[in-house]
Amino acid sequence: MISVEQALEQLFALVEPLESENVALTSANGRTLAKPVFAKRNQPPFAASAMDGYAIYKNDYQVGRTLQVIGESAAGARFEYKMLEGEAVRIFTGAPVPTGADWIVIQEDVDAIGRQITIRDTRESKSYIRPAGTDFEAGETLDAPQVLTPQLIALLASMNISNVNVTRKPEIAIISTGSELVMPGETPGDDQIIASNTFGLKAMLEANGANVRVLPIAHDTAPALRTAFALTYGADLILTIGGASVGDHDLVAGVTEELGMQRAFYKVAMRPGKPLMAGKLGKAAMIGLPGNPVSAMVCGQIFVLPVLRALLGLGKAPAPRQSATLANDMPPNGPRAHYMRAHVLDGVITSFERQDSALLSVLAKANALLLRPPHEDAKQAGEAVTFVPI
Ligand code: AMP
Ligand code: MG
C-alpha cells in the first residue's frame, strides 16, 4: 500500500494541462484563464468626478465664495471648454472633470441660486476627483492561470476584454458498477440501492470546472463493464465507482487490465478509501474509486479534484489545508491516514462520533475532513489540527 502523498504524485504523472480555447467573457465565469490578459485602456480613461456637485478651482474652495455656473458635465457628455477661476461647472458622478478644474465641491455644501453657487461649507479635505488610470492603467496584467470569478469578469469587462483564452473543460466519464444499483427515481427491488455518490461526484466535479458524463450503471459482469468502458470514448478522465476491491464481483481490475490499462497503483493507506486504483487507459487517466458512498466522495476531494485542477492547468497540488483547534479528544490513529468527517466553526473543529464510510447523512453534515496522519498520537481538545474544507 502506498501513502496518500505517493498516490497523488503518481496520479499527477498521469495528466498534463489541457489545451485552451477562446470563449466569450459572458461564458467565462468559473473557467480557468489560460493566458495572461492585458488591459486595453486606462480606467477611468479621464479624470472623473466621484460625486454629484460642482467642478471648481481649489483656490475658490472658500466659505462664502460665489461662483458663476457656466455649464454642465454629465456622464457620457463632457463640458468641452477650459474653466477659469471664479467659474463652476455642474458635474455628476462619473462625468469627466472639465479642463482647469481641480476640485469637486459636493452639492450638499453649496447654496445654488439661478446660475450662481455660494460655497457654504469647506469640510472636505480631498477633491473627489478620480484621476485617469486610478483603477488600472492600459497594459496592466491579469495573471494566468487562475479561475475566473464574478469579480474578475467585471474587471476584464472594464479592461475592454470581450473574449478570453480558457483551458478546455476536462471531460470526465463516470461508470458506476454494481448489480445492486439503480438510478434515483427508479423503483428499486428488495435487494437494490440507489446510486448516490455518482451524483455527488458529478456535482463536485462540475462545480470545479469539468464536463461530466454519467454513463449507464454497469452490472457486475465483464461484458457490462466492457460496454461501459466503450462509452468513455473521448474522456480525459475515467472514473469507476465500486467493484475495485478483491471480492468475487469486483471486476474493474480484471476488465481494465484486459483493455490494456497501465496501472499506476492499487490500494492507498487511507481511511476511508483504501481500494483506490489508478492508471492510464489509452489517452485517458483512469481512477477506480471505492464504492462506499463516503469513501468515493472523500477520494473525490483528496484525489479527483487535484487531478481535475492539474488538467485545468492550475498546478499539481494536494487539496488545500487549513488548521483549527480541536474541540474533542481523539485516540491514537492507526497505520492509515484518516480523513475524518468533521464540522468546523470559527476555527474550532469537532469530529463526528460515527465515521462509517457508508454514512452519507454524516458526510452531509460535515464541512471538513479532519486529517489524521498515519500513526498519529492521541490528540486532546485544544490542540491544533489540519483539515481539508469541503
Ligand atoms: P464495492 O466497492 O463495489 O464493493 O461497493 C462497496 C459498497 O458501496 C457496497 O455497499 C455498494 O453497494 C456501495 N456502492 C457502490 N457503488 C455505489 C454508488 N455508485 N452509489 C452508492 N453506493 C454504492
Ligand atoms: Mg460492487
pLDDT, tens digit (0-9, with 9 covering 90-100), for 37-95? 999 999 999 999 999 999 999 999 999 999 999 999 999 999 999 999 999 999 999 99
DSSP, residue by residue, 64-99:
T-EEEEEEEEBTTB---S---TTEEEEE-TTPBPPT
Residue 112 Cα to ligand 2 midpoint, Å, equals 81
Tell me, using a 6 A CB cutoff, whether residue 243 lines ligand 1. yes
The fraction of the chain above a pLDDT of 90, given in percent, is 96
Task: Using the predicted structure, report yes or no on whether residue 287 has a pLDDT greater than 90.
Answer: yes
**245: confidence class by pLDDT, cuts 50, 70, 90:** confident
Q: Give me the helices (H) in 215-322, please.
A: 222-230, 252-258, 293-299, 305-311
Taking a C-beta distance cutoff of 8 angstroms, is the pair 18, 167 a contact?
yes
pLDDT reported for residue 244: 85
The region, left, alpha or beta by phi > 0 then psi within -120 to 50, assigned to residue 162 is alpha
> Could you tell me the sign of the dihedral formed by the alpha carbons of 91, 95, 99, 105, in that order?
positive
For the residues 285-290, what does the mean pLDDT come to?
97
Query: Is cis: bond before 145, omega within 30 of 0?
Result: yes
Report which secondary-structure segment, H or E, holds 279: strand 277-281
Q: Give me the helices (H) in the chain, please.
A: 4-12, 150-158, 197-206, 222-230, 252-258, 293-299, 305-311, 360-365
The fraction of the chain above a pLDDT of 70, given in percent, is 100
pLDDT reported for residue 247: 77
Summary mean pLDDT of the chain: 97
For the residues 259-274, what does the mean pLDDT come to?
92
107-121 pLDDT per residue, tens: 999 999 999 999 999
Residue 180 Cα to ligand 1 midpoint, Å, equals 8
Taking a C-beta distance cutoff of 8 angstroms, is the pair 284, 232 a contact?
yes
For the residues 256-265, what does the mean pLDDT come to?
92
Taking a C-beta distance cutoff of 8 angstroms, is the pair 81, 199 a contact?
no
Task: Using the predicted structure, report yes or no on whether residue 202 has a pLDDT greater than 90.
Answer: yes
* Atom of ligand 1 at shortest range from CA of 244: 2
Task: Using the predicted structure, report yes or no on whether residue 32 has a pLDDT greater than 80.
Answer: yes
**226: confidence class by pLDDT, cuts 50, 70, 90:** very high
Closest ligand relative to 180 C-alpha: 1
**365: confidence class by pLDDT, cuts 50, 70, 90:** very high
Closest ligand relative to 191 C-alpha: 1
Distances (CA, A) of 310 to 19, 237, 287, 314: 12, 12, 14, 5
Cα separation, 387 vs 325, whole angstroms: 10
Residue 242 Cα to ligand 2 midpoint, Å, equals 5
pLDDT reported for residue 332: 97
> Could you tell me the sign of the dihedral formed by the alpha carbons of 121, 122, 125, 130, in that order?
positive
Q: How many CB atoms lie within 10 A of CB 374?
A: 15
Query: 326: which 3 cell numbers?
Result: 480541536
Task: Using the predicted structure, report yes or no on whether residue 260 has a pLDDT greater than 80.
Answer: yes
DSSP 8-state secondary structure symbol assigned to residue 303: I
Query: 347: which 3 cell numbers?
Result: 476555527
pLDDT reported for residue 252: 94
Half-sphere exposure of 126 (CA within 13 A, CB side): 7
Query: 164: which 3 cell numbers?
Result: 478570453
Residue 242 Cα to ligand 1 midpoint, Å, equals 5
Residue 175 Cα to ligand 2 midpoint, Å, equals 12
pLDDT reported for residue 203: 98
* Atom of ligand 1 at shortest range from CA of 250: 3
* Mutation probe of ligand 1 site: the residue of 177, 183, 192, 193 with most atoms within 8 A of C-beta: 193
Tell me, using a 6 A CB cutoff, whether residue 192 lines ligand 1. no
125-152 pLDDT per residue, tens: 999 999 999 999 999 999 999 999 999 9
Give the three-class secondary structure for 4.
helix
Nearest CA to ligand 1 atom 7: 292
Residue 295 Cα to ligand 1 midpoint, Å, equals 9
* Atom of ligand 1 at shortest range from CA of 195: 20
Closest Cα to residue 337, out of 366, 306, 370, 373?
Answer: 373
Closest Cα to residue 142, out of 157, 128, 131?
Answer: 157
Task: Using the predicted structure, report yes or no on whether residue 249 has a pLDDT greater than 80.
Answer: no
Taking a C-beta distance cutoff of 8 angstroms, is the pair 382, 359 a contact?
no
